[in-house]
Structure 1
Amino acid sequence: MPAFVQPCPATGPVPAGAFSAEETAAVYRAIYSRRDVRSQFLARPVDEAVLLRLLGAAHHAPSVGFMQPWNFIVIRDQAVKERVQTAFRAANAEAEAMFPEARRPHYSALKLEGITQAPVNLCVTCDRSRGGPVVLGRTHAAEMDLFSSVCAVQNLWLAARAEGIGVGWVSIFRDGALREILDLPGPVVPVAYLCLGHVDALYAEPELQAKGWASRLPLEELIYRDRWGQGDG
């Protein structure tokens, strides 16, 4: 266990307060320099101890009602990766056709996955039956289990950035494809299919921005006060 990870006390609150300047800077560095990695994976294996630290970070994500609906399917088998990549290619061909004809050459030039290149693939799932039929905090918003699982993905992604591990999220699959390949039982749904591996370099900005597909929206245009559409002016 890294020195900065403190064991949780059995009961009772612990002192709270801001991190040191160095610790705070490290958190924000992980947030701002995190990237969706598609093509920079190295062949070097991911050490099991590092992977377990990342999964531990994911497992410490917030979850509504403390339901902890996630599971983590670690995939190293090349044959399984190849089946997943085949499923991606089928869906990706359909996805390309959904864009205006003028954008399709740009779309087809983008590398949108590193499934077989990444040493580790990881499927983060959500067990929609976990916690039983009535879960605290989910009584009026059934999707909170899915939202909680996404928090686990973000925790893992930021921890991976701190560890020098690249992460790429592959989302272009037909409904049911991952369920069939990974033998997911009925109440379990795939939330994120991730590619993980060591990287020596990352884009200075999001890759889709660097390659002209989209740009980050200005923050000031996204903030409203007290109600939708109301700004500071």
Structure 2
Amino acid sequence: MEAYILKVFGRVQRVGFRRYVLDSAQELGLTGYAKNLPDGSIEIFVQGDVEGLSKFLEIIKQPMIPAKIKEIIKEETNPKPEIKEFKIIYGELIEELQEGFGAMQSIFADYWREFRDYRQEFKDYRQEFRDYRQEFRDFRQEFRDYRQEFKDYRQEFKDYREEFRDFVRRTDENFKLILDKYGEISEKLTIILETLIRESKETKEMLNETMKSLKEALERLPKASWEKSGKSD
């Protein structure tokens, strides 16, 4: 068993700190006492096993609101086996009553300050909500504009699609016309060629030259017809 005398400075009197010390010591199975000192600090005598004392020191460093710890002075001392429990050593009745009322007043003041902080925070959130609401309205209007713009683009796309269909139809008709003309010319040239081949070699050579020229003309025919058709459209 080990024992310490602790002197705790800070906001520790009239704020319920001794009760907090009592509850913590009893929970850890420690014995001793806590009492107020005239200088505004609290003296704690505590004894028990090493592990429990270590936990106790950590717990009292983080007291409940509104108590605040400024400094803890620890001094090792001899255990007192005759002390079998942990207790609060109270002062005179009027002093304890004043401390009780002071603790309630201090707690009320802290809660009031906290409430004021929350009230201000609520005002900030309310203003932020108003900003978000206005921003939402702006987005909603912008969305309507985009929706209308999309409708316009969709109509324009339909117009382009219809125009493309007309273009494909005209192109198909032009190609059919060119192919028909090409087939007709090819057939006539074949007849002419067969007739001329039977006449003479010289005529054949002349015919070959003519065929070459005609072939070149025919190769240019689809392109010229296409350009002509395109201009007419």
Q: Same fold (TM over 0.5)?
A: no
**Relative CO higher for 1 or 2, CA cutoff 8 Å, sep ≥ 6?**
1
**TM class, shorter-chain normalised?**
under 0.3
State TM-score, norm by structure 1. 0.25
State TM-score, norm by structure 2. 0.25
Higher helix share: 2
